[in-house]
Structure 1
Amino acid sequence: MKRTPFSRWPCSVARTVDVLGDWWTPLVLREAFYGVTRFDDFAKSLGIGRNVLTQRLGRLVEEGMLERVPYQERPVRHEYRLTEKGRDFFPVLMAMMRWGDKWMAGDDGPPILTRHTTCGHTAHAEVVCSECRQPLRHGDVRPELGPGFPERLREPAEELPRFAADSRSGPGRSGGDVREE
C-alpha cells in the first residue's frame, strides 16, 4: 500500500503527521525526552527491531528533530540528541499523555506521572490561549486561513464550511480537506 505524503498539504497537523509517519516515531521521541540517547538503549526500552529503529532515528535526524553525535571513536558510535526542533515537540507528547491518562488509563490510574521540578507538583498538559491564557477548547476556536496558505487554494478553501464566517458552522462540523497536489 502506497503511503500518501502530507508534507505539501496546507495544514500543520497533516505536515506533522507526515513527519511522525507511524506509531514508533512518537515513542522514540518519548524515550529521547526521558533521557535515552544511545541506539541500544532505544532498542531495549522500546523492544523495537533494529531495522525499524534505524529507519525512525534516521528520519528524525533528517527532519532535524534529533542530531547524531559521536561518543566513541573505535568503533564509531553515535548518540541521538534532541535538537531545538525536537525539544519543541515536548508539549505535543504531553498533550497525548494527558488524553491517554484520561481515556486510556485503567482503574489504577495513569501509568506514569509527570512531576514539575520547578514547583514540585505532579502536572499535566493544558492547552491555553497564548494571549489571554484561558484554556483552548474545541467549541471556543475556529480556523482561519493563515499567511502560509497557498494563494491558488484560497478561493476553494473559503467555500468550505470550516472557514465560513457563520459561527454555526464551527469547528468539527465541516467536510473534507483541501489538499495540495
Structure 2
Amino acid sequence: MKIFLDTTRLLAAKTNNLLQELWNYIEDGKIMQSAILLLAAQEQIRGGSSSKMNGSSKKNGFDILSKCVMRLSIALKWEKGSHGMAQELLEERKTLTDCAWLLVDVISHAGEDLSAYIQAHSAVPHAEVFQHVSSVLEDYGFCPTGDLMDTINLQPYNCRKSNGESCKGLTDANMAVMESANLDAADDKVKIITSGPGLI
C-alpha cells in the first residue's frame, strides 16, 4: 500500500488542478479513488493546492471540498426521482455523497496520523492494521466497529409533522430553517473532545 500511495502522491504533485480532479471523483461516486487520492495528496490539499474551484487557491482544500460535498448533498436531498429506478439511483447517489462527506472529514482530521502509520508499517497483517487504524480514528472521535453499516437505511432524523405523521426528511424551506435552529441548539450540548494528537 505504501508504494501505491507514494506513486499516487507523486502523480498528484504533477496534477495542475488536484481539487477539481478530486471533486470529479466524488461527484462520480468513486469513493475508493477519492479515499486514495485524499490520503496520498493530503499535504498538497492542506497547503491550498492550485485550484479554480470556488475561485481560491489559498484556502485549505479540505474545507473547499467539504463545502462542495455539503452543497451537493443538500441539493440531492431536495431532488425527487421520476420513477422507481430513478429513485433508487438517487438514493444511491445520496448515500455515496454522504460517504464522501464523511471521508473528507475523516482524512482532514486523522489523515496525517493514518499516513504516518502506513509509511511506518508497510507489511503488517490486516487485523493489526485494522486495530491500529481504528485506534487512530477513535482518537479523533470516529469509532469504527468493524461491522458493515447499511448507510442506505440510516434514519438520522425522527421527523414528525404537526399532526404526528412521520415524514421522510424535510418537506419545505420553513422546516429546513427550524431544523437548522434545532441543530445549532444541539451543537451547544455536544461534548467537544479537546485533547488528543493533532486536534486543533
Query: TM-score under structure 1 normalisation?
Result: 0.27
Q: Which has more radius of gyration?
A: 1
Structure with the largest fraction of strand: 1
Larger helix percent = 2
